[in-house]
Amino acid sequence: MTILRLALPTPLRRLFDYLPPQQIDPAALLPGIRVQVPFQRRTLIGVLVSVEKSSSLPYEKLKRADLIIDDVPILTSEIDKLCLWASDYYHCSLGEVYASAMPTQLRKGILPPEPVVEKAGDGETAALSLNSHQQLAVEAICAAHGHFQAFLLEGVTGSGKTEVYLRAIDDMLSRGKQALVLVPEISLTPQTIARFKRRFSVQVVALHSGLSEKQRLQGWVDAKSGTAKIVIGTRSAIFTSMPQLGLIIVDEEHDQSFKQQDRFRYHARDLAIMRASMNQMPVVLGSATPSLESLLNVERQRYTYLDLPERAGGASMPAYEMIDLKSSPVTDGLSDKMIAMMRSHLAQGNQVMLFINRRGFAPVLYCTQCAWTSECKRCDARMVYHNKPPRLHCHHCDARKAVPVRCEQCQQASLEPIGIGTQRLEENLTTLFPEIPIIRVDRDSTRRKGSMQKLLDQVHEQKPAILLGTQMLAKGHHFPQVTLVGIIDIDGGLFSADFRAAEQMGQLLMQVSGRAGREEKAGTVMLQTHHPDHPLLQTLIQHGYQAFARQLLVERHQAMLPPYSHFAIFRAEAHAEKKAVDFLAMIKEWCDKQDDTISALGPVPALMQKRKGMHCQHLLLRADRRGNLQQLIKNILDKLEASTASQPVKWVLDVDPVEV
């Protein structure tokens, strides 16, 4: 008997046995090929893991596969190994991991096209000259070719990290190798891609969500065949097959978008380290504001530290100024001091950038008569008031409705938008600075394809101007005319229930500040806060990110939080709260019985307890040793999956969560 053992894209963490299609040559059954099978009432595309002689299922229960799709394995053995490791570490079904590793069209069963040899750039742009720090960094990375070494390249915005990447890549190309560059989604702009294409006379492939499915598949094929030498991509590009891969670069390694937040919850930075280590090559993590995880790895001498302390070209660092909101009058979100400073910078012909982490017009619609607020019916959240076009919008479940004219509770015409978002700030600025162009960058203003580019072009044309936006504005874009950065409200990050909030606040502040005063012009960063004396904030602006990060690491160590311990979270959702609580309480009981080195904390309601009409509860597992945690999770999942009763809740497991 010939049995096909398949990994199928379902959450069930097991393999599935099928009979081969009729009249198939057994020699065609190579592990790694795709197979189409009937599954429940659907058709799925799976990957053949092995060919077996027997099955634990009786013969009459075995279904027959519909179709063998490939002649040769679709994933290289290198990617296959990475997938196996990731499936085990993140406790995700191998079928779902394989599906994530493939472009969408392959998941649908389409055959890969032939590789194309795209006309490459002519490598015209000359390399910039390096300062001594850049030189040392390039030499260290190049010296690591052919063996595993992880580098943390720390350099402030404008210090010339990209030039270090380009030189290291150039060296790999000269050895006949390929290079993989991972970037956060938001910073993979046409300029970034163009810079790589201009610099090298080899084929460069970009892999990101802005491409059509067909383009993505073609890029994937070109990388796998080796015709493309450089791949620049977002998170999932870590799974690109590259037979001559010699170097991996993860730019903005601290960025949270490297962590996938649904289904297969992997961290692309961590997988980059694993891939480099499995295949003996250097990996470079670059950031102006490294994650605490990476800094601790440097301290423990697992990573080699490379430092670019200066801004290339000698541009100076910005000066910081705090505005105490307790004593400064504020009109529509802007203190008088901020407005005065803006006037002075604009009068000198410069640009001003304002940062506010809230899109929409106002975070809530409020009744001044009866205190009604615009709550979302399905979430523990308020519906945000947008005015262009007018609507109430829940940013968590995407529910939308028309803006009521009268209060839904007391029927009075007494509704007022409270608080401030990007749209309202834009409106205020138009009144305050009628002669100055106002450019708003947020998810609403950049939804249409190409609209981000249009806004950016406007910034580069017009001076003076006011740019305002959410964190989208802070990442990766170059605004040489900006000399003043204003941060409307920094306090959210200082007082959050999430222990990573302060780290992220610091990273964001540094990034936003990095936009000020590039090139010849010195910059100023003004922060509006109710807590100008907060020790973390003081450390950050007086002594910089390094000192700030060290202080945070001390705090994390005292509290035994990651990276000094390891976390995993079970999240459970149910229509009835009690069901979610009971389910997690059962898991907690198992944990307590099995391993006393692991603390199970909870169940507690999620930060947003109700979301999309479901009640969410969390159980947090904390361990000093990763191995113990892994073993415990395995035992729990085995138990859960052994029980035949279907669970009354929807649950997921998140290993190394970035949001707690």
Q: Using CB under 5 A as the criterion, which residues of the chain lie in contact with Zn ion when the complex forms?
A: 367, 369-370, 372, 376, 378-379, 394, 396-397, 399, 407, 409-410
Beta carbon nearer to Zn ion, 224 or 393:
393
The distance of closest approach from Cβ of residue 405 to Zn ion in the complex, given in angstroms and rounded to an integer, is 12
The distance of closest approach from Cβ of residue 250 to Zn ion in the complex, given in angstroms and rounded to an integer, is 34
- For 328, the token pair is 């400064």
The distance of closest approach from Cβ of residue 408 to Zn ion in the complex, given in angstroms and rounded to an integer, is 7
Distances (CA, A) of 491 to 326, 509, 511, 553: 13, 11, 16, 20
Beta carbon nearer to Zn ion, 16 or 372:
372
Beta carbon nearer to Zn ion, 368 or 458:
368
Beta carbon nearer to Zn ion, 398 or 659:
398
Count of other CB atoms within 10 angstroms of residue 409: 12
Beta carbon nearer to Zn ion, 550 or 612:
612
- Residue in the block written with tokens 């990996």: 283
Beta carbon nearer to Zn ion, 79 or 407:
407
Angle at the Cα of 375 from the Cα atoms of 390 and 648, rounded to 5 degrees: 125
What number of residues does the chain have? 660
**Contact 427/315 with Cβ under 8 angstroms?**
no
Burial class (CB in 10 A: 0-12, 13-18, 19+), 418: middle
The distance of closest approach from Cβ of residue 580 to Zn ion in the complex, given in angstroms and rounded to an integer, is 18
**Contact 426/465 with Cβ under 8 angstroms?**
no
Beta carbon nearer to Zn ion, 351 or 374:
374
The distance of closest approach from Cβ of residue 618 to Zn ion in the complex, given in angstroms and rounded to an integer, is 19
**What does the alpha-carbon distance between residue 56 and residue 50 come to, in Å, rounded to a whole number?**
15
The distance of closest approach from Cβ of residue 607 to Zn ion in the complex, given in angstroms and rounded to an integer, is 14
End-to-end CA distance of the chain: 49
**What does the alpha-carbon distance between residue 222 and residue 244 come to, in Å, rounded to a whole number?**
12
Beta carbon nearer to Zn ion, 319 or 399:
399
Strands, E assignment, 314-434: 319-324, 330-331, 334-335, 351-355, 364-367, 384-387, 390-393, 400-401, 415-418
Q: Which residues contact 134 (CB under 8 A, 6 or more apart)?
A: 160, 163, 164, 167, 308, 312
The distance of closest approach from Cβ of residue 401 to Zn ion in the complex, given in angstroms and rounded to an integer, is 11
The distance of closest approach from Cβ of residue 27 to Zn ion in the complex, given in angstroms and rounded to an integer, is 55
The distance of closest approach from Cβ of residue 407 to Zn ion in the complex, given in angstroms and rounded to an integer, is 3
The distance of closest approach from Cβ of residue 64 to Zn ion in the complex, given in angstroms and rounded to an integer, is 45
**Contact 455/446 with Cβ under 8 angstroms?**
yes
Beta carbon nearer to Zn ion, 111 or 370:
370
The distance of closest approach from Cβ of residue 80 to Zn ion in the complex, given in angstroms and rounded to an integer, is 40
Beta carbon nearer to Zn ion, 367 or 552:
367
Beta carbon nearer to Zn ion, 117 or 608:
608
Beta carbon nearer to Zn ion, 296 or 364:
364
> Residue 131: in which H helix or E strand, if any?
none
DSSP letter (8 states) at residue 403: P
Q: For residue 401, give the amino acid letter.
A: K
Q: For residue 351, give the amino acid letter.
A: Q
3-state secondary structure of 182: strand
Closest by CA to 271, choosing from 262, 261, 283, 263, is 283
3-state secondary structure of 354: strand
Supply φ then ψ for residue 298, to 5 degrees: -70, -45
- For 471, the token pair is 């964190």
Closest by CA to 640, choosing from 653, 656, 654, is 653
**Contact 444/469 with Cβ under 8 angstroms?**
no
The distance of closest approach from Cβ of residue 531 to Zn ion in the complex, given in angstroms and rounded to an integer, is 30
